[in-house]
Amino acid sequence: MIKKTIILLTAATLTIGLAPGAQAKEITKLAVTAIGANHAGGTGAMNGSAKGTFILNLKKSSLCANVKTKDLTDVKAAHIHKGAKGVDGPPFITFDILKFNSTSQNCVNVDKALLSDISKSPSMYYFNVHT
What does the pLDDT average to over 78-86? 82
pLDDT band of residue 34 (cuts 50, 70, 90) is confident
Give 1's pLDDT tier (boundaries 50, 70, 90): very low
Number of residues assigned to the chain = 131
- Helices H / strands E in the chain, number of each: 1, 8
For residue 58, report the phi and psi dihedrals to the nearest 5 degrees: -65, -40
Share of the chain above pLDDT 90, in %: 15
Strand partners, 126: 81
Q: List pLDDT tens digits, range 50-66.
A: 888 899 999 999 999 88
Query: Mean of the pLDDT values across residues 82-102?
Result: 80
Q: How far is CA 36 from CA 6, 45, 116, in A?
A: 6, 5, 27
What is this structure's pTM? 0.73
* pLDDT, tens only, 93-116: 998 877 777 666 789 999 999 999
DSSP-derived letter for residue 31 is E
User: Which among 75, 54, 14, 10 has a CA at the least distance from the CA of 36?
Assistant: 10
Q: Which residue has the higher pLDDT, 57 or 24?
A: 57
Query: Helix or strand or coil: residue 118?
Result: helix
